[in-house]
Every structure is written in structure tokens, then in C-alpha cells.
Structure 1
Amino acid sequence: MASNWDRLDVTQRDSVQESVELYERVRPALKLVTREVLQILRTMLKDTEVTPLFVTGRTKSVDSFREKIARTEEPLEPGGPRLLKFPDPFRTLNDMVGVRVITKLPAENALVANLIKRQRHLFDCRGDREKDIGSIESGTYGYSSRHLILRTIQNDVVKNYQQVFNPEVQPNGSYFFECQIRTVFAHAWSEIEHDIRFKAEDPRAWTPHFDRQFTATAAMLETVETAFADLHERYEEVRSYWDLDGEGAAQLTPNRIRDVWRTLLPHVDRKVDDDWGWAAELLAAHGLKQTVQLAGLLSANRITEVRRALDHRYSPGPDRLLDDLLLWQYGTKHIDLTAEAPDAAPHPRRDSLLRRLKQIERYRQTKK
């Protein structure tokens, strides 16, 4: 497979080779710049509201640099010679130093970007864009990545590099580099896609089926990312129910009970109406008035035990299951607080609760 260098016009090779030789000379100093910005970013992101999976970086290799600056584009006038795409690479290329911040969830990309952009004493953000191969507007799929173009500010390591690059110019410590922020899923997809699509040794070894497969995997990746994002959001909501300084102290109104129930037990919602008033009355009878108390009552293990003890013929709705959970927890106290008086006639609820309590007691006997 012919490289960009191999296809380059002979008249253009001298200037490209001159840039390559200069890059080869200054690259050791540039590698120290890469190490410097990596260390700054890792320290900056440590122990913040979002900790990336990892922060990595690289200094463009000499071969990769040669290939990139040997790219050409269409001439300004038809029939003219092709033009170098990067005639002055040290001024126009921002990816000789590249950093990647790999996150777990899509929402973390924005958090990381904002954290970096706020450190204005370290970096000046000169570019911020979403790189999405495929877009919502066109109805296609691809990986999504946040790309920042950052400029260092009065950095001593950069000044050392600048002195190596051109000792006749006063160094200012400013250097442009690229910082990519993407999820681990998008990172894996892009790495594999880049190796096959852009680094393939023979461009003839390609079939439209590959495009179709990449599109399909990108669609699945988006679905997986969405599922994990939803899972994380639900986890944070459930965790908040145990925060006595926050959501856990929220009062149990009927609507609050409904929302907590549907978050914790979305698979148990057979209510024929949207009236959760009776549930609020049952809980209030036992002095359960805070969200944390309801979260504690709706223990998955307790629900499993109640289901086994009462062997429900039909899957119970929220009202019935809550009633049974309170009966399991409080026994005869629950009956006395919520059923008819012993001397009332008739007393169907008391009879039903007494029958269910006997089932629970028999079940507990078998567990001993």
C-alpha cells in the first residue's frame, strides 16, 4: 500500500523532509511536554466529582508525523499541482501532543471538560467540539468524543521545548495540544474502527459489509451506554433515599410513596388507580413518615420471604404487598392499628390479616 510520502510529488518532498528532520530533533523535548500535561491533568482530575478510568497520552511518532504532513489536497485551480495540506505543520498541527481522558458514562464527558476548562491559570481552551462520526440529524451512528484544543500558560517545560525548537526566539510557555474525552465504550469502538478502517495495510481488503457492521456495533454501543447511564441514575436516586440529611428525610406523602415504590420496585406496580392514600395511611399508623423508613421496609430479602410465606396466588399490587410487609414486620400490632376492632361486626380485614399472620408464623416455624 502506497503511503502519503510515496505518493508525494518530488518537488514537495524537500520541505516535508525538512519538517520531519526538525520534528525528529525536537521530539525528545516534546515528549517531556506530553508527560507534563499528563501529570497536570491527572492531578487536576484526582478526587474530583468525577474520576476518569484513566488518562493517557502520546507524542506523535516520527513516521506518523511524516505521513500526516505528507497529505495533499485538491489544487486551487483545476489541473494544477496538489497542495500540501499542512505546509507549516508546527503552526497548524495540534495533535503532536495528544491526551485522552477515558470516562465510564457519557454524562461524565461534560463534567471532565468543564473541570479542565475552569483551570484557566493552567490551560486556555481554544477549541471545544463534539466529534461524532454519524449524527442525530443524519440518522447515522458512530462514536462520540469531546475534543478540546488547549494551550498551556507560562509552562516551564514548554519553555524548555521552545528553546530546543528555536533558541533565537524568547520562549513564552504556550503550546497547543489536543485533549480527547470519551467513554470507555466509545474508546474501544474507535480504536478497533481506526485500526481496521484507517490503518489497514491494503485498502482493497474492504467490503461494504464492514461499514454495516461498524454501524450496527455503534448503535449497540449507544444502547449499552444509555442503559448504563439509566442504571447509574437509578442507583444515585436509590442511594439518596438513605441520606438523612437529604432525600432520606423527605416526608412520605402519597405521591412520594408512589415515586419511591416505582423506583425501588418498578416490577411491582399493579395498581388499578393512582391513589396511594391508603399506603400513606398504613405507614403513618406505624409512625413511618420518612423516605428512609420506607426504603428500609422495602427490603428485597424481606419481600422474597413474604412472598414465600404467603404463597400469593396472584402477584400482589403495591397496596397488598405493603400490607403484607407491615404484617410481617409488626405482627399483631399491625392488625390492632389498621383492622376493625375485635368486637366489631363484621370484621373481614381483621379475619384476613389473622389468617395471613398464621401463614407467616407457620412459615417461620419451618425456617427454624
Structure 2
Amino acid sequence: MASNYDRLDAGQRVLVDASVATYERVRPELKNVTRNMLQTLIAMFKDSEVEPLFITGRTKTVESFREKISRLDPPSVPGGEPALKFPDPFRTLNDMVGVRVITKLPAENTMAANIIKRQRQVFDCRGDREKAIGSIESGTYGYSSRHLILRTIHNDAVRAYQSAFNPELPANGSYFFECQIRTVFAHAWSEIEHDIRFKGQDPRAWSPQFDRQFTATAAMLEVVEKEFADLHDRYETVVSYWDAEGEGAAPLTPDRIRDVWQTLLPHVDRKVDDDWGWASELVAAHGLTQTRQLVELLDAERITEVRKALDHRYSPGPDRLLDDLLLWVYGREHIELTAEPAEAEPHPRRDSLQRRLKQIERYRLT
């Protein structure tokens, strides 16, 4: 398979070979710069509001450097000769040193970028691009990643590299490098895509089906990311319900009961209207006035036991299931607090509750 370098003419190869020789000479110092950037970023995220899955980095290999600087731009005029895309790579390339911050969820990408950009005494952010924006605006799917171009400030590892590169120039410790921030899903996708699309550059080994599959997997991964983000948000909401000093102390208004129910039991929401006042009255009858008390009542194992005990002919909606849970916990007290007076005629609710309580008592005996 022909490489970019193989397509160069003799004059272009001379220029590329000179840059590659310089790169081979200074690469050990660039590896130290990469190591320093990694250590700096790891320390930056310690005890922060974001905990990346991992932070990794690499110094471009000599082979990769040669291939990249061997790229050609099309002729500027008809009939002209293609020119080197990077005739002065040490001045124009920002990816000889690259680091990646790998997160769990898309929302963490923004938080991680903000943490890095706030460290102005360490880095000066000179570029910030969201690689997915073009795909979103064009209605397509593709590579998703946040790319920061950072400039180091008075960095000693950079000064050592600059001295090795050209000892006659003053070393100021300022160096541009690339920092990519992306989720673990986007990271996996991009690594596989890079291996196939960019390392396999022989057009004879390409099929349109590859494009279709990459597009399909990008779309699926976006859905997976959204589902995990929703799962995380739901988890954080449920955890907050148990905070006795915060959300757990919120009063049980009808709207609050609806929101808690739809968060914990979205599969048991068969109501045909939006009136949750009945639920507020039922729980208030037993002195349940705070969110945490309702969450404790809606215990998953208790719901399972209630379903077994009453063997519902039809899947109960929120009103019936809440009523049964209160009956399970409070027994006859629930009947006396919420049913018609014993002397009332007729008393269909009292009869229904008494029948269901007997079912519960028989179930408990067995």
C-alpha cells in the first residue's frame, strides 16, 4: 500500500527527511513534555467535581510524524504541482503531543473542559472545538469529541525540549498541544474508526458498507450515551429523595407525589387524569408528609409482596397500588382512617379494604 511519503517527489522528500531527522533527535524531550502534561492533568482533576475514567497521552511516533508531514495540498492553480501541507511542521502541528481525558457521560465533557480552562496559570486555551457540532447541524452522525488547543506557560519540561530543538533561541516554556475530551463510548468508536479509515488508506480496500456501518454505530452510541445520562440523572434524583435535610424533606403535595411516583415507578402509571389529590389525602391520613416517607413506603420488595398477596386480576394503577401498600403497612388502621364509617350504608370501600386485608393476612400465614 502506497504511503503519503511514497507519493512525494525528490525535493519534497528532502524537506520531509530533514524534519523527520530533527523530530527523531528531539522526540525524547517531547516524551518528557507528554509525561509532564499527563501528571499536570491528573493532579488537576484530583478532588474535582469530575472524576475521569482515565487520562492518557502519547507522543507522535516517528512513522506517524513522517506520514502526516508528507501530506500534500492540491495545486493552488490548474496544472500546478501539489505542495506539502505542513512545510514547517514544528511551527504548525499541535498534535505531536496529545492527551486525552476520557469521561463516563457527555455532560462531564463540558465540566472537564471548564476545569482545564480555569487553570490559567498553567494553560492558556487557544482553541476549543466540539467535533460533533458539524454532524448535529447537518443531521448526520459521526465522531464526537471536545478538542482543546492548549499553550503551556513557563513550563520547565517544555524549556528542556526547546533547548534541545534550538539551543541558540531563548526557551520560554510555551508550547501548543492538543487535549481531547470524550466519553468512553466515543473513545472506543474513534479508535476503531481511526484504525480502519486512516490507517487503511488503500482505496482498493474500501467499501461503502464501512461508511454505513460507522454511521449506524455512531447513531447507536449516541442513543446509549443518552440512556446512560438519563439513568445517571434518575439515580441522582432518587438519591436526593433520601436526603432528610434536602429533597427528602420536601412536602408531599399532589404534584410532588406524582413526580416521585413517576421517577420510582414509571412502569406503574396508568392514570387517565392528572389528579393526585387523592394520593395526598391517603398518605396524609397516616401522617406521611415528607418525600422520604413516601419513598420508604414505595419499597420494591414490599411492592412485590403486595402483588403476590393480592394477586391482582388487572395490573393496578397508582391509586390502587398506593392504597394496597398502605393497607399492607397499616392494616385495620388504614381502613378506619380512610373508609366510610362502619355504620354508613352502603360502605363499598370498607368492604373492599376488609376483603383485601383478609387476603393479605392469609398470605402472611402461608
TM over 0.5: yes
For normalisation by structure 2, the TM-score amounts to 0.97
Q: Does 1:245 align with 2:245?
A: yes
Alpha-carbon distance between aligned partners in 2 of 1:170 and 1:243, rounded to the nearest angstrom: 58
Name the structure 2 match of 1:169: 169
2:2–2:202 Cα contact (<8 Å) kept: no
- 1:344, distance to aligned residue in structure 2 (A): 2.7
**Compared with structure 1, are the counterparts of its residues 205 and 133 closer, same or farther at alpha carbon in structure 2 (3 Å cutoff)?**
farther
1:222 to partner: Cα distance: 1.1
Alpha-carbon deviation of 1:76?
A: 2.2
Report the Cα distance in structure 1 between the residues aligned to 2:81 and 2:250, rounded to whole angstroms.
73
Question: Runs ≥4 in structure 1, deviation > 4 angstroms?
Answer: none
SS of 1:204's partner is helix
Counterpart for residue 212 of structure 2: 212
- The CA deviation at 1:134 is 6.0
Between stretches 119-128 and 347-356, larger displacement belongs to: 347-356
Alignment of 1:81 with 2:75, yes or no, is no
The SS at the match of 2:148 is strand
Pairs within 5 Å for 1:171-186:
171-186=171-186
Quote the Cα distance in structure 2 between the aligned partners of 1:31 and 1:133: 32
Equivalent runs, 1:303-318 vs 2, <5 Å = 303-318=303-318
Residue in 2 that maps onto 1:27: 27
**How many residues were matched structurally?**
366
1:158 alignment partner in structure 2 = 158
Cα RMSD, aligned residues only: 1.2
**CA drift at 1:201:** 6.1
For 1:301, the aligned partner's letter is: E
Q: Which moved more, 1:228-237 or 1:199-208?
A: 199-208
Residues 113-160 of structure 1, C-alpha deviation per residue, up to 9 Å, x if partnerless?
A: 111111111111000001139612222111200000001111111111
> Deviation digits for residues 198-239 of structure 1, max 9, x if unmatched?
111633111111111111111111111111111111111111
| Deviation, structure 1 residue 354 | 1.2
Aligned to 1:108: 108
Match of 2:5 in 1: 5
1:279 is matched with: 279
Determine helix, strand or coil for the equivalent of 2:151. strand
Aligned match of 1:52 = 52
Tell me whether 1:61 sits opposite 2:72 in the alignment. Answer: no
Partner of 1:117: 117
| Residue equivalent to 2:72 | 72
The answer for unaligned runs of 5 or more in structure 1 is none
Could you say which residue in structure 1 is the equivalent of 2:344? 344
Aligned twin of 1:202: 202
Q: Is the 8 A contact 2:158 2:174 kept in 1?
A: yes
- In the TM superposition, residue 75 of structure 1 has moved relative to its aligned partner by 2.3
Deviation track 1:244-276 (CA, whole Å, cap 9, x = no partner) reads 222111111001101110111111111121110
What secondary structure is seen at the aligned counterpart in 1 of 2:145?
strand
Give the Cα separation in 2 of the matches to 1:273 and 1:66. Answer: 68
3-state SS, counterpart of residue 340 of structure 2: coil
The 8 Å contact of residues 109 and 182 in structure 1, kept in 2 or not, is answered as yes
CA contact (8 A) 1:133 1:143 kept: no
Q: Secondary structure at the match of 2:86?
A: coil
- Measure the CA separation in 2 of the matches of 1:359 and 1:2: 79
Shift of 1:347: 2.1
Q: Deviations over 1:17-50 (max 9, x none)?
A: 1111111111001100000000111111123222
Runs (5+) with no aligned partner, structure 2: none
Note if contact 1:135-1:142 (Cα within 8 Å) is conserved in structure 2. Answer: yes
Letter in 1 for 2:258: R
* Deviations 1:312-363 (CA, angstroms, capped at 9, x unpaired): 1111111111010001011111112111222333222222111111110110
Once the two structures are aligned, what percentage of the paired residues are identical? 78
- Aligned residue in 2 for 1:127: 127
Q: Secondary structure at the match of 1:140?
A: coil
Distance 2:94 2:245 in 1: 47
Q: Give the Cα separation in 1 of the matches to 2:272 and 2:208.
A: 52
Structure 1's 308 and 321: CA in aligned 2 closer, same or farther, altered over 3 A?
A: same
Q: Do the aligned partners of residues 84 and 201 (structure 1) sit closer, same or farther apart at CA in structure 2, a change above 3 Å counting? A: closer
